[in-house]
Chains A and B, each alone.
Chain A
Amino acid sequence: MRQFLLYVFVLLIPFFALWTVASGPLAIPAIGFVNTVLTHWFPDLVNTLYVDGNNALLMTEFGEKDGKLVALDGAEYRFGLQVNTRILSYSLPFYTALHFATQKEEYLSSYVWGLLVLYPLFMIGLLCLCLKELMVGLGVHFFEQPGVWVPDANLIAILYQFSVLIIPTLAPVILWVWQSKESPLIRMAFEKK
């Protein structure tokens, strides 16, 4: 276990450094997916979600004047919400460090499978994050949309908390344990059970 931990700590540094540089482009497919979902789900509310450096910008169909939310035609500018995608995507360098710190017979294909599991979780997390931003930013305008199903505020709050506080750190660990079932470290830990 000591060797594994040493490798994890050593590998966390370069993988987190790489992710810091690449987190913007990495988020583009997720942002595109969530943009499609939100603009179809709330066409009267969401204008677009687009890449803004290392963040995403969620532009609404509302404007702002004197600090108040108003209809777009009477507004000084369009109301937008900044979304930090990194608070979700850091699961990727964490998983990468765990994966490559473990003794395995093969690394690449299981790593690709791991990313294929984690990336959809990142997409769903981003959707939950945007729902929470819309709920907090637009208030009653978000909940009172005629003919549109809007999730309950408590459900959005729980999904947001789960997506931000639990999934980014826990999903890589569960995935790593599952994929490393045959590694000496996990076999030794789970033996006889």
Chain B
Amino acid sequence: MTRFITIFVLTLVTLFAVEMLNPVQQHVIIPFTSFLARLSAALILPFDSSVMAYGKVLQFKDTGFAVSIEAGCNGVEAAIVLIAAVVAFPGSWKARASAIVLGFLAIQVMNIARIISLFYLGNWNTDFFAWIHLYLWPTLIMLDVLIVFIVYLRYLSRSEKQGEAAAG
């Protein structure tokens, strides 16, 4: 466990520092965040004609309420935590890569749900929006990371047992 936590913390700090670099922000994080905004808009627009989208912004035509999806709202930090945990835990690189790709998708599905729910919540009540946005959703996203990681550990454990049974 001590080894796991040491590698985890080192990987986490390294990836987080890399994410903060200007070139990474300009060429990866900001375009990815804009993509998330466009994807959220594409999911909402067929069902709600009172919504319009431009750039990183989603806006209600009638009330004027708008949300801008910024860095920090893109699930990248949660993905970094998952990557650090997967890398720190012993396993084959194939299993690690699969866990990272599937885990990233799971985080982003949750994050899109977060963006859309916050957009509608904000139009209803801004105080409630702020509370859910700042405190509850980050907690739920981290729970998502935890669940993905525990499922991955169980998968590893099962694979090993099956491998041992086949060898025996």
Q: Which residues of A contact B (CB under 8 A)?
A: 1, 5, 8, 12, 16, 20, 84, 86-87, 90, 94, 154, 157-158, 161-162, 165-166, 168-170, 173-174, 178, 181, 185, 188-193
Contacts and interface: CB of A to CB of B under 8 A. Distances in A.
A190 B1 contact: yes
Contact of B139 (A90, A185, A189): A90
20 contacts: A1-B150, A84-B134, A86-B135, A87-B135, A90-B138, A94-B142, A158-B17, A158-B20, A165-B77, A166-B77, A166-B81, A169-B142, A170-B142, A173-B146, A174-B5, A178-B1, A188-B157, A189-B150, A190-B153, A193-B90
B131 interface: yes
Chain A interface secondary structure, helix, strand, loop or mixed?
helix
Given A166-B16, A170-B81, A192-B157, A8 B138 contact: no
B89 A16 contact: no
Interface in B81-110: 81, 89-90
Contacts of B166: none
Most-contacted residue by chain B among A5, A20, A165, A188 (CB, 10 A): A165
B134 A189 contact: no
Interface in B132-154: 134-136, 138-139, 141-143, 145-147, 150, 153-154
A181 B20 contact: no
Contacts of A192: 157, 160
